[in-house]
Amino acid sequence: MVRDELLRLRVDAQAQAATLARDLEALFTASRDSNADDEHDPEGATIGFERAQLTALLAAARERVAEVDDALRRVDAGTYGACEGCGRPIAAERLAARPFARRCVTCAA
């Protein structure tokens, strides 16, 4: 059951990463075609800002995929749901909100 939830999250995160990678690619192509000057052209500055935002979002989406992969490994190893800090079980509410959480609320704080 947890595995299914994690697999679903993984599909979502991967789809998000793929979309962001495509958007970023389109932005690169657009900025190359318009020959925008990042420093002096106001439109170039906007593209630079958008590019930075998309890059950050893409990194976050890829990080999410990695976190979910890690959680899936813990499910397979039978250690899923145990806090990596203190070894105690992570609260069910926390796992419901963040199924890939590695630490309990106390250790994460």
Q: Which residues bind Zn ion (CB under 5 A)?
A: 83, 85-86, 104, 107
Q: Whose Cβ is closer to Zn ion: residue 11's or residue 86's?
A: 86
Please identify, using beta-carbon distances, which residue of 17 and 104 lies nearer to Zn ion: 104
Rounded CA separation 78/75 (Å): 5
Q: Which residue number, 47 or 81, has a Cβ lying nearer to Zn ion?
A: 81
The CB-of-93 to Zn ion minimum distance in angstroms stands at 15
Identify which of 108, 1, 20 has the alpha carbon closest to the alpha carbon of residue 64. Answer: 20
Phi, psi of 82 (to 5 degrees): -95, 135
